[in-house]
Amino acid sequence: MTVGVLLVALVLAAAIYIVPGLPGVPRSPAELKFAVIAEVGGPLVCTGWGLPNPAFSPYSEYPRIVSNLPTYLAILRHTKLPPGPLTDDQIVTVYRVWLNLEAVQLNWRGAYYDFREFPGPGASSALVNDTVGKVDLFGRVYDVHEGPEMSACPICLPGVSRVATPDGPVPVAQIKEGMRVWSVDGQGRRLAAVVIQTVVRNDAPGSRLVRIVLVDGRELTASPPHRLADGRALGSLRPGDQIDGARVLRVDAVSDSGGRTYDLLPSGETGEYWADGILLQSTLH
């Protein structure tokens, strides 16, 4: 029995490290993404991981990574990790590589894939043009050139977030320069301010947002670096923390399904505004 298990393990190890790289063997989408990264460089990766928040922990994502077996085995092969139980440090390595793969988009064209990637690393707030090209089933990358789209990591709000105005809540995607919104002065007193700047950006593939749920029912979804009025980054919050006298009930990492984020700058000394009932700083201040 022991010898049989050992033989199976050896066969599996050989399949992981040898078969995907043999000439003439079509490669999995994950292997093709590795080929793209090897040719054009690493992608821009957007994640809240690294902030003191377990919602972005590599260990919470690890079961989902393992569930996609072809991708998981490709990661093990490229990182030369064993096909067995991993240490915490090895799980972090798998997670970092997986984030890179998630940031490369493939679009099947019948005989090859179009690929799209935003180059990185770089300043998360800096807009960059995408890199596009083609990759065939055997990992040959060609027709590589700069694409027309520009993107960056999200630092703002999804378009459905509702901003408090004297005329009632308005989705941030509909806020325009010259509109009035509620803000506060240096003493924390509410006042009507005029929007003097707005911004909308395309977010890089694989971007993650954070959803904060308070015990009083308020919920806010935004990018992890976005700050509350008191200066705390949303991605640094944990259950039990206090916001405006209400306890944080839950902090979740969520996908950036809209692909765009928005922000605004009200007039006045603070540049603060309410989104979904929570007072925020503007990233444009």
Instruction: List the pLDDT tens digit at each of the 285 positions of the chain.
Output: 455 544 555 555 555 555 565 666 789 999 999 999 999 999 988 765 544 444 557 888 899 899 999 999 999 999 999 888 999 999 999 998 998 998 899 999 999 999 999 887 665 556 788 899 999 999 999 999 999 888 777 888 999 999 999 999 999 999 999 999 999 998 989 999 999 999 988 887 777 888 999 999 999 999 888 999 999 988 888 899 999 989 999 988 888 778 889 999 999 999 999 999 999 999 987
d(CA 221, CA 171): 13
176: which residues sit within 8 A by CB, 6+ positions away? Answer: 195, 198
d(CA 90, CA 83): 11
- Residue 221 bridge partners (DSSP): 211
Q: Specify the pLDDT at position 194.
A: 97
Q: Specify the pLDDT at position 50.
A: 47
> In terms of DSSP bridges, do strands 246-255 and 170-171 run parallel, antiparallel, or are they unpaired?
unpaired
Q: Specify the pLDDT at position 147.
A: 92
Q: Which residue matches tokens 């067995």?
A: 84
